[in-house]
Amino acid sequence: MSTKVLLSLGKSFYMAYPYLGEKLRAMGLDVCELTDYDYPTPEDEVLAAVTDADIYVVGVEKVNKRVIDNAPRLKLIIKHGAGYDNIDVDYAKEKGILVTFAAGKNCGSVAELAMGLILSAARGITTSYIRLRDNNWALYMGDELEGKTLGIVGFGAIGQRLAKYAKAFDMDILAYDPYVEAAICEANGASKTDFDTILRESDFISLHIPATQENIGLINKDAFAKMKTTSYLINTSRGEVVDEDALIAALKSGEIKAAALDVFSSEPPRGDLISVPNVLATPHIGGSSIGGARNLCEHTCENIRRFLNGEPLLCQL
């Protein structure tokens, strides 16, 4: 019986570098592709396809207890990305299923978007375009980045890459990450500090943390109260780390100046959030670049090759 690989990946993302299925078939594998949607594949389709899968390569679909229990042959789950909060890793391990992810493989893509959101929010690029499109020739007096303080919450591969980009704009960088040593922060041009200092002193706060239990709702009413009224919140990590009701209130009351968001607690996002005038929003495109898709494809193929050959896996959880 041939080894079957199930792919459930976003249509636009997959088509940006559409060679994963081809490469896996060249390895002699039986490949099933669920790549028809730009949002999570409906669970009933996943349940039907995963039944006889040995390897499941997943994008944003939920790999929960129900899915795992419906896949008696499953031996390996590969997250085709860095954030694996959509996978019940503990239950997979309990069932003897290996789980890997792709740490750092699309860090440049996400960090570039975060930098772009900082620039767009600070200079009103999107706002100015909308005004001009509506025949409203009006100047937008934005903020320069030089000399401003960027607080990076989560200083892994993405946060470190963002620090590099921000340094080119002569920004001062603060980093908060309890799992990263001060020497690593300093080597990447940042000063390690505590969370409250990030909130109080940053002109821009960029989030790069997973949606773990300790991080869900981390940016809440109390956090906004400590931030500068001139500050910007940037989130390209996970929507759940921000209390969206508190964010709306902070934006409307002037507790913070603006927010630029690529991720939301529910996707597509709630209308009352993205309709707030000082919100800039994009539809979870952080990792969606051709280069990022290529890197993930190569990483996934290498991990499957290692699995088939009984070799140690990359980024195993």
**Is 284 one of the annotated active-site residues of the chain?**
yes
Tokens of 16: 């940006």
**44 lies in which domain range?**
4-103+289-308
Residues 6+ apart with CB under 8 A from 78: 55, 56, 57, 58, 99, 100, 101, 300, 303, 304
- Catalytic residue (choose from 22, 267, 302, 311): 267
What pLDDT, in 10s, does the model give residues 60-115?
899 999 999 999 999 999 999 887 889 999 999 999 999 999 988 888 999 999 99
% residues pLDDT > 70 (the chain): 100
Position 288 scores a pLDDT of 83
Same-domain check for residues 267 and 140: yes
Same-domain check for residues 251 and 302: no
- Report yes or no: 316 and 39 within 8 Å, Cβ to Cβ: no
Same-domain check for residues 167 and 69: no
Residues 6+ apart with CB under 8 A from 108: 161, 289, 291, 292
315, part of any domain: no
Same-domain check for residues 115 and 230: yes
How crowded is residue 177: how many other Cβ atoms within 10 Å of its Cβ? 20
Same-domain check for residues 133 and 96: no
- Catalytic residue (choose from 80, 161, 208, 284): 284
198, part of any domain: yes
Position 10 scores a pLDDT of 86
Same-domain check for residues 240 and 265: yes
Same-domain check for residues 266 and 142: yes
What pLDDT, in 10s, does the model give residues 153-199?
999 999 999 999 999 999 999 999 999 999 999 999 999 999 999 99
314, part of any domain: no
**Is 255 one of the annotated active-site residues of the chain?**
no
- Catalytic residue (choose from 238, 240, 244, 299): 238
313, part of any domain: no
Question: Is the per-residue pLDDT at 222 higher than 80?
Answer: yes
Question: Is the per-residue pLDDT at 307 higher than 90?
Answer: yes
CATH number at residue 221: 3.40.50.720
Using DSSP, state whether 281 is helix, strand or coil.
strand
Same-domain check for residues 130 and 235: yes
Closest CA to 171 of 197, 189, 187: 189
99, part of any domain: yes
212, part of any domain: yes
Q: Total structural domains in the chain? A: 2
Closest CA to 257 of 121, 114, 149, 151: 121
1 — pLDDT class (breaks 50, 70, 90): low
Using DSSP, state whether 28 is helix, strand or coil.
coil
Query: Three-state SS across 142-170?
Result: CCCCCCCEEEEECCCHHHHHHHHHHHCCC
Q: What is the mean pLDDT of residues 216-243?
A: 97
Distance in Å from the first CA to the final CA of the chain: 28
Mean residue pLDDT of the chain comes to 93
pTM of the prediction?
Answer: 0.86
Same-domain check for residues 201 and 166: yes
How crowded is residue 182: how many other Cβ atoms within 10 Å of its Cβ? 12
219 — pLDDT class (breaks 50, 70, 90): very high
Tokens of 141: 């007096």
Same-domain check for residues 91 and 125: no
Same-domain check for residues 29 and 140: no
Closest CA to 38 of 6, 7, 13: 13
258 — pLDDT class (breaks 50, 70, 90): very high
Same-domain check for residues 249 and 131: yes
Interstrand relation of 149-153 and 172-176 (parallel, antiparallel or unpaired):
parallel
